[in-house]
């Protein structure tokens, strides 16, 4: 692997992008360290795609600077394309193409390539070489996509929703492969909708909402930011008023998730005591009660909720 | 260059795997040849001492360029882009011209195969005069015309996202050019105003050139035709690059 003398594999400084009067990305400053798995999470329309495409050099920012592997993206787009690999969502390959043809085609694009035989073996694609892409299952299609992303032995790999639509087995295999890529010294940038994925996989996570960076830290620290909060969830009785639940002692946040109500509490014992009292006085039952630690999901909903409140 | 050749081979293999479209592109000109040739083939042609079939052979080769470009190349490009592969190529070192030139090479192969077919069948059925010089001149003019007309097909492919819409566009360009350029019938039998319309259709100049050089004219004596085709090529090539899209 080629080494560069910069601390960060990717550095964004004050990056801004707008489409007409709509601001897609603003004031974005952060760095991705060499050799880490860096997650970018955010709701749909948060600006993730625009952000990634600017880093890849496909879109030009309206302001700010982006450096990848120490090079200005705007000036070295073609050189950088030789040094990164991309996994897009699985629909982007003609179904009639065979695995071997795809690997040979993509390896012809690059000056430096990985050993195709070895790459196939390591992704267990060696006996799928003559199979048409369309007759592979979701998990195998993702393996092919991953092989294409790694065919130039890239220093940075961008993964767009790598486990979208995969069954749990295929998903955990995908995670193993991603971790292996990191252990080989590559820098991984992954966008995902699954908070579980972000939490399990990423060394650091950038939370993006409405084109802004709202938080950037390790999953553990992001969760700890909730103040060591615990999570109380129970079945929505249908009669409980939201404001009375959210004003229970030590409740920092109350979410209505369809059939389920989730409270975040900084003092579990006290909140529980008052929750049961409230239920009794209002004559409903706390059922299907579950207690747990806060997750990335909670961090995410709280952070994006805060943004929304501030915006109002 | 390696990228380009590998891409061209890849695209061509994918194309051949879809046997039905290939069948049509190879069958259609022969059907036209047999039908119109059977009806008019032995009638006297526009030039003294020639038959209708002698003018029809180069005209059909030109028609083949048009159908390959607006049907095959345009619709293929729309389908190809629809598959998402161009979106994937965009994050690799593949360039626009690699993609366009790969499909153009495919088009050239089809045009040459079509021309060979037309010449062989006409030789066998009508025993037309075939000379090496005639073939060489015809090929040069046809390949030159491919630049502009293929580019037209690629430019049109940027305008639609569904194969259905693309074939609608193809019809709009194909039939007027087919009938108003003198491919099926000589322009002199047209009413005057339609003759004026045909003067504004680049295809007319392409047909004139191909027929002229095939019927023994010197390749250097068609200045107007070469100029119109060259201008058309520059315009369409620019449009093809301008309207090229990596995503549907």
Per-residue pLDDT reduced to its tens digit, B123-167: 998 888 889 999 999 999 999 999 999 999 999 999 999 989 999
Write down the pLDDT at residue A238: 80
Number of independent structural domains in chain B? 1
- Write out chain A residues lying below 8 Å of B13, CB-based: 101
Mean pLDDT of B43-72: 87
Mean pLDDT of B30-46: 83
d(CA B147, CA B162): 24
Give residue A4's region: left, alpha or beta (phi > 0; psi -120 to 50). Answer: beta
Residue A272 CB contacts under 8 Å (≥ 6 apart), including other chains: A232, A265
Q: Does B92 touch chain A (CB under 8 A)?
A: yes
Interface probe, candidates B5, B17, B91, chain A, greatest A C-beta count within 10 A: B91
- Write out chain B residues lying below 8 Å of A56, CB-based: 91
Write down the pLDDT at residue A3: 44
Residue B217 lies in a domain: yes
- Using CB atoms, pick whichever of B6, B84, B93 lies closest to residue A92: B84
Higher pLDDT, B197 or A109: A109
Interface probe, candidates A94, A96, A104, chain B, greatest B C-beta count within 10 A: A94
Show which of residues 94-153 on chain B sit within 8 Å of chain A, judged by CB atoms: 94
Residue B224 lies in a domain: yes
Provide the residue range defining the domain that includes B69.
2-243
DSSP A204-270: EEEEEETTEEEEEE-HHHHHHTTTS-EEEEEE--S---HHHHHTSTTEEEEEEETTEEEEEESSHHH
Q: Return averaged pLDDT per consecutive 10 residues of chain A, 312 residues in all.
A: 62 93 92 95 85 93 94 94 88 87 94 92 91 90 92 95 85 91 95 84 92 89 75 85 84 82 86 91 89 78 70 61
Residue B248 lies in a domain: no
Mean pLDDT of B177-200: 83
CB atoms A91 and B84 under 8 Å? yes
Measure A97 CA to nearest chain B CA, in Å. Answer: 7
The answer, yes or no, to whether residue B86 has pLDDT greater than 90, is: yes
Confidence of residue B219 (pLDDT cuts 50, 70, 90): confident
- Using CB atoms, pick whichever of A92, A101, A158 lies closest to residue B88: A92
């Amino acid at each position: 692997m080629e080494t560069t003398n910069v601390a960060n594999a990717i550095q964004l400084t004050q990056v801004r992008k707008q489409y007409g009067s709509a601001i897609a990305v603003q004031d974005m400053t952060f760095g991705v360290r060499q050799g880490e798995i860096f997650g970018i999470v955010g709701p749909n329309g948060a600006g993730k795609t625009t952000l990634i495409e600017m880093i890849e050099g496909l879109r030009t920012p309206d302001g700010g600077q982006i450096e990848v592997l120490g090079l200005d993206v705007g000036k070295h787009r073609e050189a950088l394309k030789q040094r990164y690999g991309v996994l897009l969502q699985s629909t982007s390959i003609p179904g009639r193409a065979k695995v071997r043809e795809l690997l040979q085609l993509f390896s012809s694009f690059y000056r430096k390539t990985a050993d195709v035989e070895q790459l196939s073996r390591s992704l267990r694609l060696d006996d799928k070489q003559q199979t048409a892409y369309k007759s592979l299952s979701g998990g195998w299609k993702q393996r092919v996509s991953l092989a294409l992303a790694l065919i130039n032995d890239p220093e940075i790999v961008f993964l767009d929703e790598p486990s979208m639509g995969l069954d749990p087995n295929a998903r955990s295999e995908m995670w193993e492969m991603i971790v292996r890529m990191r252990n080989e010294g590559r820098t991984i940038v992954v966008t995902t909708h699954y908070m579980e994925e972000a939490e399990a996989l990423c060394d650091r996570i950038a939370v993006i909402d409405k084109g802004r960076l709202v938080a950037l830290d390790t999953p553990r620290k992001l969760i700890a930011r909730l103040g060591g909060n615990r999570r109380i969830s129970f079945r929505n009785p249908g009669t409980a008023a939201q404001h009375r639940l959210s004003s229970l002692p030590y409740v920092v946040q109350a979410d209505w998730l369809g059939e389920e109500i989730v409270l975040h509490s900084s003092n579990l014992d006290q909140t529980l005591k008052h929750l049961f009292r409230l239920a009794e006085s209002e004559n409903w039952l706390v059922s299907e009660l579950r207690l747990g630690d806060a997750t990335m999901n909670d961090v995410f909903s709280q952070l994006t909720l805060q943004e929304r409140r501030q915006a109002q | 260059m390696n990228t380009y050749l590998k891409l061209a081979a890849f695209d061509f293999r994918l194309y051949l795997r879809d046997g039905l479209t290939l069948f049509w592109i190879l069958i259609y000109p022969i059907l036209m040849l047999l039908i119109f040739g059977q009806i008019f083939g032995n009638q006297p042609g526009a030039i003294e001492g020639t038959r209708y079939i002698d003018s029809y052979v180069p005209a059909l080769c030109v028609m083949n360029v048009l159908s390959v470009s607006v049907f095959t190349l345009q619709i293929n490009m729309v389908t190809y882009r629809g598959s998402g592969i161009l979106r994937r190529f965009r994050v690799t070192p593949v360039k626009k011209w690699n993609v366009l030139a790969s499909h153009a090479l495919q088009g050239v192969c089809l045009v040459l195969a079509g021309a060979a077919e037309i010449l062989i069948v006409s030789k066998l059925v009508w025993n037309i005069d075939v000379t090496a010089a005639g073939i060489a001149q015809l090929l040069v003019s046809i390949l030159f015309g491919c630049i502009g007309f293929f580019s037209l097909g690629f430019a049109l492919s940027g305008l639609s996202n569904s194969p259905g819409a693309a074939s609608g566009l193809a019809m709009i360009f194909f039939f007027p050019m087919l009938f108003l350029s003198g491919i099926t019938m000589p322009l002199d039998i047209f009413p005057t105003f339609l003759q004026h319309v045909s003067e504004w259709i680049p295809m007319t100049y392409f047909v004139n050139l191909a027929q002229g050089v095939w019927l023994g004219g010197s390749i250097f004596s068609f200045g107007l035709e070469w100029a119109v085709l060259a201008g058309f090529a520059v315009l369409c090539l620019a449009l093809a690059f301008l309207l090229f899209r990596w995503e549907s």
